[in-house]
Every structure is written in structure tokens, then in C-alpha cells.
Amino acid sequence: MNNNNRIITGLDIGTTKICVIVGQMTDNGKIQILGMGKADSFGVMRGVVANIDKTVEAIKLAVQEAQEKSGVEIHDVYVGIAGQHIKSLQHRDIFTRNDAENEISMDDIDQMVLNMHKLVLPPGDRIIHVLPQEFIVDGEQGIKDPIGMSGVRLEANFHIITGQIAAAKNIFKCVEKAGLKVIDLVLEPLASSESVLSEEEKEAGVALVDIGGGTTDIAIFQDGIIRHTAVIPLGGNIITEDIKEGCMIMKNQAEILKIKFGSALATETEDNEIISITGLKGREPKEIKVENLARIIQARMEEILEHVYYEIKLSGHHKKLIGGIVITGGGAQLKHLVQLASYITGMDARIGYPTEHISKSKVEDIRHPMYATAVGLILKGCDDRNFRNFEIPTENINPKQEVKNVVPENMMNNNVMQNNAVEVAVENEMQEQESETPEQDRKNAKPGWLKSMLTNTKKWFEEDDVSDFK
């Protein structure tokens, strides 16, 4: 991010497309889109990178197009992450302040967030986001922002989002091989909610449903607080596959049929409407009834929406969502989808467009629901409070220890967060010892002695193991 003109780039690595958007914050708080580039995605399956080389090539093409249209050289990006491996959990932390005279500051909240990063997770998982929900100051509940208040005992409920280390690592690899630097990873439904939902809707209670090509992302808000997140491994591509199999046509033809003539309700189509499709070489054209096409689409969309409704009920807020459901993403362009969603869930529904935070721009395509995630990534980048590193805030790290050595490499280990913190502390102590005199080094040589003892012990065991096989 360029601090002078605040130019921010969002990179949406999706199953069907890879989109790069360059934006700039204006004086009136709106986002001015400077340029956009997109490329077909062939190396991503259900939101997860499956082919590194193909994904890198697609990122390069999208970045090149965005640079040409915007006239801005892109170096660093905010990247969205999704996939079935994304999980969420609730946790509570208690923090006792030593100085009751001073007001509660952002440092106190950062310390609580840092404590959440030390939670024990299943092997192979890492924390992506730690989102404070509500605070309790000296027994006083329902506080959303405790900064500036006085108190000794600070409690908070956190919504923690986790994902697989391997999936995050593959995203890092793709972006770095494309010659870019990742500023932050952002969960895609959170990014979409920034661009599509209003603060009023979040306060009233709303469920955001982002229907992509490979996944359907869900984010539920109540009282202005995120309450639940989920990722369903079903999206628009599976509808295309159903049309391909049901109508016996090519996949590209099925995609065109879905976009141009597809409907989520078979009852809303004409009985006698027929579509003629060019047959293969030497074969007659194939005729398909629009009603049959709609029946195929409706069956799959009902399944997706039933999964969505299950997740909404699982959150425990399905009776409190006054704002209903907001549908966005590429799947939102399907006809009569709002009516079907209202019928399945019994809740009000609307299509979410990323227009509220965008100023007038030459790039008119940006107002389509499929670009909600990319626009949301730019909005996330404009929020200074969200400018955090992936696991540990920068201000809590010793300057001698680079961030890139703390997060990506350590997070690849299957050890718990506490072990990672101990390793960083030991490295910092060893660095401080390097500046001491040789006599002091000899006095403080316990780590070296312990290491040599462990090495000799390992050598003895290895020799015994070899001798057993002789």
C-alpha cells in the first residue's frame, strides 16, 4: 500500500476467475476504481489452489491487465482466502490490567488478540482472523468499544476463523511467484460483506450469501457483530456440470445457457420456449426446452440454499435476522433467485451490489455482484485498524526478528502456538547474547552445552540402532 496516495490492490483468487482491482480512497470516503484486470482461473478448485503454475500464470495476466488500465505499478496486494477447510469457533479471554488509573487503550485489545493466537489448534491449522465481538469491563456487559473506559478486569468474546496452513502457504507461493507481496489474507465473505452490506443491515441482523464458482460463503451479522461464518463446497460450477450432463451438451455451451436463459424457478418459464444449440460436426442442432433447463438449475439451487439455511439455523440467529438474506457473487445473476431464496428460507432476500462505497468510475463492470469480494478487499485495505500481520501484530515483534520468518515458516510446523512463541523468545535472547563479551558468552553457554548433549545422545541411539541390524 502506498501511504502517499493510498493506492490499494485487491486480488481475488476464485475458482472461475482471478480478479485484480486497483483502487484509491477519495476525500469523501468513497473508493475510486483506477483499473481492473481479470483472467480465467484453471488452477483453483473449490477455492483452493490445485495447480501452482496455472494459478501463477493467471495472476500475472490479471495483474498485467490491471497495470495497463490503471497506469499503476502493482507490488503488494490484499488476497482473499476461501475453501471448505475454513472453520470458525468462539472463545473468551480475560485480561487483568495492572494500571487501573489509565484508560483502556488499543494496546490492551491487541494483547488480548495476541493471546487468542496462542490457542491450541488441530495439527495443520492456523488462525486467519481474530474478531472481537463484545467486551465486558468490570462486569459491565454489552460493550462494543471499550477504548477510553476505565477498568481493571477486561473480558471479551472472540470469533476466531481458522484455515489449513497448506492452503494458505500455496496462496503465498502463487502470489510471490507472480512477483507480488501479500500484505494480508482476508476471509472472502468478510471482504464481500464490507462492500455489499450497510452498517444498518449489520445492526439489524443479516446473512450474507456469496455464491461463487466453487464455493458458497456465508457470513452472519447481528447487532453489528459477526456471529457466524461458513463455507459450503457447492457453487455455480456444479450447476453447469448438471446442465452439461442433463442436456448432453458441451461445458461452455452449458455455461452460456445458464447465464442467458437460466432460471431458478421452473414455474416462471414459458412452456413452449425452446433453445436450439449447434451440434457437433456433421450432427443436427440440439433442441432444449427452457423449462427442463430451469428444472435442472432449480434442483441444484434448492440444495445449495438448504445448506445455507442449515448454517443460518446453526448460528442460532435465524429468528433474529431482520435484514434477511443478501445474495452476491457470480451466482447472484441467476434469474428468480431472490424468489427461490425467500421460498426456501422464509426470509426476505435481495441481490447485493458493491455500489455503495464506489464513486463514479470508467470501469462500469465493477458494479456487478461477482466483483464484491475484490472491492471488499480494497475496503479492508483502507481500514487502518485492519492493517495487521497474519498472526502477531508487528508492534509486538522484536525488530531484529523479521515478520516473514515468524509467520510463514513457523506456521508450517505442527506445533502449537505456544511453542512458536517460545522459539521466537529463545532466538531473541540468543541475538542479545551475541553483543556480550567473550567471557560472558562462556558463562552463558548453557544452550550450547545442552545442544551438544542432545546431539551426542542422538548419535549414541543411532549407533545402537545400526548395531542391532548387524
> CA nearest 308: which of 255, 252, 366, 349?
349
d(CA 229, CA 312): 9
Whether 410 has a pLDDT exceeding 80, the answer reads no
Contact present, 209 and 229 (Cβ < 8 Å): no
Contact present, 14 and 44 (Cβ < 8 Å): yes
Contact present, 197 and 221 (Cβ < 8 Å): yes
Residue 119: other Cβ atoms inside 10 A: 17
CATH of 199-355, one of 3.20.20.100, 3.30.420.40, 3.30.450.60, 1.20.1060.10: 3.30.420.40
- What integer is the mean pLDDT of 217-223? 92
The predicted pLDDT at position 150 comes to: 87
d(CA 243, CA 161): 35
Whether 411 has a pLDDT exceeding 60, the answer reads no
The predicted pLDDT at position 46 comes to: 82
Can you state the percent helix, strand and coil of the chain, rounding each to 5?
45, 25, 30
The predicted pLDDT at position 285 comes to: 86
Q: Residue 339 has which C-alpha cell? A: 424468489
Average pLDDT, the chain: 80
Percentage of the chain lying above the pLDDT 70 cut: 80
For the chain, domain boundaries: 199-355, 445-470
Q: Poorest-confidence range of 259-263, 359-363, 434-438?
A: 434-438
> CA nearest 165: which of 397, 373, 407?
407
* pLDDT category of residue 139 using cuts at 50, 70 and 90: confident
d(CA 15, CA 42): 8
- What integer is the mean pLDDT of 72-96? 89
The predicted pLDDT at position 280 comes to: 79
The predicted pLDDT at position 101 comes to: 77
Side by side, the strands of the sheet bearing 153-164 are 87-96, 153-164, 125-137, 140-143
The predicted pLDDT at position 456 comes to: 52
d(CA 331, CA 253): 17
Q: Residue 434 has which C-alpha cell? A: 551475541
Q: What would the pLDDT profile of 414-425 be if each residue is shown by its tens digit?
A: 333 444 443 434
* CB contact set of 184 (below 8 Å; sequence gap of 6+): 78, 79, 380, 381, 386, 387, 388, 389, 390
Q: What would the pLDDT profile of 163-207 be if each residue is shown by its tens digit?
A: 999 999 999 999 999 999 999 889 999 999 999 999 999 999 999
Position with higher pLDDT, 99 vs 17: 17
Whether 267 has a pLDDT exceeding 80, the answer reads yes
